Amino acid sequence: MIILAIALIVLGLFFFFGTSIGILRLPDFYSRAHAAGKADTLSTILIILGCALFHLHQAHYDLASFHVMAKLFVIIGFVFIGSPTATHAIMDAASAAGVEHWQKKKDKK
């Protein structure tokens, strides 16, 4: 169980790393927000899941630790709804404000 928890957390950190690279390296606002929205949500969920399993292992699977796990699952649910919606709202506002899409240079002319 603890190996699974560590694997989940490390995978989450890997996706966080991808998010930060994406925010720094991608060419325009929309693709950066896309990197921030998608990978960030996934990595948060993975890390919280890993923490839940770790706590379960640490507390020797008693009833109270399942209670904590249920709370963490509720947090996962809110992150799953909230984070992509926030990204969508920012993208929507950007498109309403007229932020240009990025194009490859040869298509631009």
* 24 part of the interface to another protein, by CB under 8 A: no
Q: Which of 24, 60, 96, 104 binds another protein (CB under 8 A)?
A: 96
Give residues 70-89 in contact with another protein (rule: CB under 8 A): 78, 81-82, 85, 88-89
Helix (H) or strand (E) holding 9: helix 2-25
Q: Alpha carbon 96 to chain centroid distance? A: 25
* 27 part of the interface to another protein, by CB under 8 A: no
Contact call for residues 47 and 9 (beta carbons, < 8 A) = yes
* 95 part of the interface to another protein, by CB under 8 A: no
